[in-house]
Structure 1
Amino acid sequence: MSQPSHTRPSGPTVSPLSAQGDRHFDGLAEKFAASLYGGVRGELRLALLDQLLPEMLALHDQPMLDVGGGLGQLAGWFAERGHDVTLAEPAAEMLARARESLSGQPVTFIQAPLQTLPEVAPGPWSLIACHAVLEWLADPRAALATLAGLLAPGGQLSLMVFNRDALRFSNVVKGNLEKALADRLEGKGERLRLTPISPLTHAQVEAWSAECGLEIRGVAGIRIFNDYCRHPPQNDADREALLALERRYCRVDPHWRLGRYLLYTLVRPDSPTLPAEEPGT
Structure 2
Amino acid sequence: MSDMGPVRTELMWQAVVDAVEVASDAVPGEGLNVLDLGGGTGSDAVRLAHLGHRVTVVDPSPDALASLHRRGVEAGLEHTVRGIQGDAADLLDHVEQSSIDLVICHGVLEHVDDPGQALATVATVLRPGGHASVVVSGRNAAVTARALAGDFIAAQTLLGTTSTTWDTQTMGPRRFVLEEVQELLGAHGFVTVATNGLRVFADLVPSAIVDTEPGARDALYALERLVRTSSDFTSLSAGLQSIARLDLNSAPSDTGGKHAAL
TM-score range, shorter chain: 0.7 to 0.9
Which of 119, 123, 133 is equivalent to 2:93? 119
> How far 1:55 sits from its partner (Å)?
4.4
Once the two structures are TM-superposed, the CA of residue 189 in structure 1 deviates from its matched residue by: 6.9
Matched, 1:45 2:11: yes
* 1:168 to 1:122, Cα distance in 2 relative to 1, 3 A: farther
**Structure 1 CA distance, aligned partners of 2:177 and 2:169?**
19
Counterpart of 2:216 in structure 1 is 238
1:253 aligns with 2:221: no
Checking the alignment, whether the CA contact within 8 Å between 2:8 and 2:202 is kept in structure 1 is no
For residues 41 and 244 of structure 1, the distance between their equivalents in structure 2, rounded to whole angstroms, comes to 10
| Match in the other structure for 1:29 | none
Question: What RMSD over aligned residues (CA atoms) do the two structures have, in Å?
Answer: 2.8
**1:46-99 Cα distance to aligned partner (Å, 9 max, x none):** 453365345443264121111111111221121111111111111112111222
CA shift at 1:266, angstroms?
0.9
SS of 1:86 mapped into structure 2: strand
Deviation at 1:230, TM superposition (A): 4.3
Hey, what does 2:83 align to over in structure 1? Answer: 109
Distance 1:267 1:249 in 2: 23
Residue 128 of structure 2 aligns to a residue in which SS?
strand
Contact kept, 8 Å, 1:138 with 1:198, in 2: the verdict is no
Q: How big is the shift at 1:141?
A: 2.0
Give the distance between the partners of 1:143 and 1:202, measured in 2 at CA.
17
Tell whether the 8 Å contact from 2:39 to 2:45 is kept in structure 1 after alignment.
yes
Matched-pair contact (CA < 8 Å) for 1:85–1:107 = yes
Unaligned runs of 5+ in 2: 251-262
**SS of match in other structure, 2:89:** helix
Q: Distance in 2 between matches of 1:227 and 1:55?
A: 26
* Correspondence for 1:138 among 87, 94, 113: 113
**TM-score for the superposition, normalised by structure 1:** 0.75
Answer whether contact 2:8 2:199 (CA < 8 A) is retained: no
Distance 1:241 1:257 in 2: 22
Alignment equivalent of 2:133, drawn from 154, 158, 171: 158
Contact 1:140 1:198 in 2 (8 A): no
1:148 counterpart (109, 113, 123): 123
> Counterpart in 2 of 1:20?
none
Verify the 8 A CA contact 1:227 1:260 in the aligned structure 2.
yes
Structure ID, larger Rg:
1
Q: Which residue of 2 aligns with 1:77?
A: 47
CA contact (8 A) 1:67 1:130 kept: yes
Question: Any gaps of 5 or more consecutive residues in structure 1?
Answer: 1-33, 273-281
Q: Does 1:176 align with 2:154?
A: no
Q: Deviations over 1:10-36 (max 9, x none)?
A: xxxxxxxxxxxxxxxxxxxxxxxx99x
Look up the match of 1:28.
none
Within 2, Cα distance between the matches of 1:270 and 1:262? Answer: 25
**Contact 1:44–1:223 (CA under 8 A) maintained in structure 2:** no
Q: Deviations over 1:108-153 (max 9, x none)?
A: 1110111111221123112211111111212212211211122111
Q: Which AA in structure 1 matches 2:144?
A: F
Taking the aligned partners of 1:175 and 1:155, their CA distance within structure 2 comes to 44
Q: Please give the alpha-carbon distance, in whole angstroms, between the structure 2 residues aligned to 1:222 and 1:187.
A: 24
Counterpart of 1:128?
A: 103
Q: Contact 1:162–1:196 (CA<8 Å) still a contact in 2?
A: no
Q: What's the TM-score, normalizing by structure 2? A: 0.80
Match of 1:200 among 173, 176, 179: 176
Q: Distance in 2 between matches of 1:138 and 1:47?
A: 26
- 1:90-109 correspondence to structure 2 within 5 Å: 90-103=60-73, 104-105=76-77, 106-109=80-83
Q: What corresponds to 2:256 in structure 1?
A: none
Q: Deviations over 1:145-195 (max 9, x none)?
A: 2111221111111111111221222211222211111228879579xxxx8
